[in-house]
A = this chain, B = another copy of it.
Amino acid sequence: MLESSPIIQENSPVFIKLPSENIRFVTLKPNNTISLGKFGSFCTDDLFGKTYDETFEIYEPKKIRVLKTREVQSLEEENKTNKELMDCRSNQLMSQDEIEELRKQIKEGGLRGEEAIRQLTSKSLTFDQKTQYAQAKYVNRKGEKYLQQFRALRPCLETVTEYMLDHDQYKIMELTADCSTYMMTLGNAQPGGRYLVVDETGCLFLGSLLERLGGDCKVTLVHPNEQPNSSCLELWGKEYTEESLVEKGILRTLNWLQVIGPEEALKDMHVDDCTEEELNEMKLRHKKRYESRKASYARLQSSLEDFEKGNFDALFVLSNHTPMSVLNLLLPKIGSSRPVLVYSPYQQVLVDTHHELFKWSNPCEVTETNNEDITNDESSEKHELQDTQNAWVEKLIMLDIHEIRTRPYQVLPERTHPFMSIRGDMGYVLSGLKVLSSVCTVAAGRFPKRQKQGAGNKKKANTRV
């Protein structure tokens, strides 16, 4: 289990949100000064004991106090009213959003910004726009200069994802919080679950999953390199680092080579046992190394055993690899009646995967219990098994590609409208549910007319369901 407190403590992770809307991440080491540039600086100790999400004002150099909600509201309202002043002439003047956009472009620097300025200040620009632009700039500068305040946000799915999208969207495969939460929900993620995860988003998704489950779960992470890239985990605090999670027994990791060749992987990791005598003679350094290698071996062995056992409660795939190459190796490890979720930044990738999954099937044996059989009739159970072992395949049903986005609105009196522009790139999610199917199925809910159950032995049962 991972602890989570609404109170900021020593070594707590915190996201500092500045009036400029920029977000920074810090781990609050005791007795440390955090500089926020032109917004001032503060001492970490002064944050300890405070609740997350409050707004703090730097009212004197290095002195902070909690701003009461009403104070924040009135400041925000003033700001909004200023903005509205310009916005309410609405479509007859350059809009607030357009100005914001220009300002953003200018901030980003480079040619586009210059172009924007050129456009704004070119001779074709009439006087009142110049005024308006100046006004917007003034308001913005004022806000940035006089509002020496910040918010101390608690790490969570939404905040961590926003931070990563701002800082390195390609590293996290442009994964939005909306897609993450939808995958967890469709994946029936719940405390106590056992999940198989392929996560090449720097483990942003894994972190979100662990946050939602409070660490009350067992996750096997399959990764393509020697070591997993899990750099986003630390954004939830040091309890979430890979090392800590492995130690707590929450996380197991396997790379693809270990997945496809478990015996060889174990052989490679094998360390010859030392005798008690040899151990006693070892230098401390060597002994430690020996023990750590022994532990690694044991961990790999247990991870592989757990993986081979299969029957995972869900499969989550967020990978730069072609989804089908991942799914072919991992689908057999998922339990029956359990969900499979695949993320991609591109719909086209999932459309191809969807087509391949229509056709995917994996021959399997089906053991059935029976109230009487369970205890005392093993032979008849075996008989039934014999009867059906070639007639069953694992398949996926309820395959769908989902597009989920949120559309934010401005809610101001007399000024309600959707925000003018939002982030465009957002990924897609493919979902399916694993079932055990008789091989001779050809139509949804119905058997083919002349092929009764068990009559055929076809490999490809192309039922669309």
The distance in angstroms between the C-alpha atoms of A351 and B351, with both chains bound, is: 13
A69 within 8 A of B: no
Residues of B within 8 A of A348 (CB): 348, 351
Q: Which residue of B lies closest to A346 (CB)?
A: B351
A217 to chain B, nearest CB (A): 33
How many angstroms between the C-alpha atoms of A105 and B347 in the bound complex?
A: 30
For the complex formed, measure the closest distance between the CB of A417 and the CB atoms of chain B, giving whole angstroms: 12
Complex Cα–Cα for A351 and B346 (A): 12
Contacts of A347 in B (CB 8 A): 347
Beta-carbon contacts under 8 Å, A242-268 to B: none
What is the CA–CA distance of A348 and B348 in the complex, to the nearest angstrom? 7
Q: How far is the CB of A273 from chain B (nearest CB, A)?
A: 58
Interface code A351-366, partner B: CB below 8 Å = 1, 0 otherwise? 1000000000000000
Within 8 A of B (CB), among A329-349: 347-348
Report the bound CA distance from A348 to B351 in whole Å.
9
Closest Cβ–Cβ distance, residue A365 to chain B (whole Å):
35
CA gap between A351 and B348 in the complex, in Å: 9
Nearest CB of chain B from residue A255's CB, rounded to whole Å: 34
- List of B residues within 8 angstroms of A351 by Cβ: 348
Residues facing B in A287-332 (CB within 8 A) are: none
In the bound complex, what is the Cα–Cα distance between A348 and B352 (angstroms)? 11
Cα A351 to Cα B347 in complex, Å, equals 12
For the complex, give the distance between the alpha carbons of A79 and B348 in Å.
Answer: 45
Q: Which chain B residue has the least Cβ–Cβ distance from A348?
A: B348
Give min CB distance, A350 to chain B, whole Å: 11
Q: Closest B-chain residue to A347, C-beta based?
A: B347
Subset of 3 A-B contacts with CB under 8 Å: A347-B347, A348-B348, A348-B351
The 3 closest A-B pairs by CB, nearest first: A348-B348, A348-B351, A347-B347
